[in-house]
Amino acid sequence: MTDEHLQPYREAIRTHGGGFDATLWGSPQTQVLRFEVLADMLSGVLVDEVTILDLGCGDGAFGQWLQDTRGIRAYVHGLDAMGEMIQAAKARRIQGATFSVCNLTDRNWPISDTADIVLLSGTLNTMDDATASDLLKEAWLHTAGAFAFNFLGDAPSSRWRDQPLGPARRHSVDAMTAWAQSCSTHVTCRSDYLDGHDVTLCLHRDIGSPAT
């Protein structure tokens, strides 16, 4: 499978090295806002000792934020294709967290089990629809409890409509929601926090449903 979606990150790392600037987030403030939305939507399952699989973890900022801001001691396993980002994540020395280099589109992930929570935060932004769809399906297979992901929606307010996206691209909110609802009867969606520019979906495994 192609990894063209990684090229903007390779270029950013050549310029900035591993760290926030290479994540291609708009600002630290919007990154934290997305973390807050994810945590709020997962509030029923985001507890101490929960296992979290952070796919496209970047420099490990979510695990750090979760401990420092929410006081939750989770077992986070972060995967990211960029070795420099994994080095930056490990340098944080987050209690209970491990980080591994992994190209998520290869489907050869260094994990052998499901996680209570699976996250994709910013990971879909440079992917085409087919690549994003394949990753969502694979991530759901590794979800034991809840799966939450964000993406740039295709129906933003006028505030964002003509703003340049750089290497990022928008995805269909209707298509993403339909896929989530095909997997679970317990799906929530939020697009209010950045006027429709960003969308977060959270789906929970139905009681008694298999992990595959």
Distance CA 73, CA 181 (A): 30
* Distance from C-alpha of 152 to C-alpha of 211, rounded to nearest angstrom: 27
Burial class (CB in 10 A: 0-12, 13-18, 19+), 141: middle
The residue ranges of every structural domain in the chain are: 4-204
- CATH class label, 4-204: alpha beta
164-188 pLDDT, tens digit each: 898 999 999 999 999 999 999 999 9
**In the structure, what pLDDT confidence band is assigned to residue 207 with cuts at 50, 70 and 90?**
low
Alpha-carbon distance of 124 to 186, in angstroms, equals 22
pLDDT digits (tens, 9 = 90+) for 107-120: 788 887 899 999 99
Q: How far are the Cα atoms of 99, 104, 108 from residue 151, in angstroms, in the given order?
A: 23, 16, 23
Environment class of 84 (CB within 10 Å of its CB; exposed 0-12, middle 13-18, buried 19+):
buried
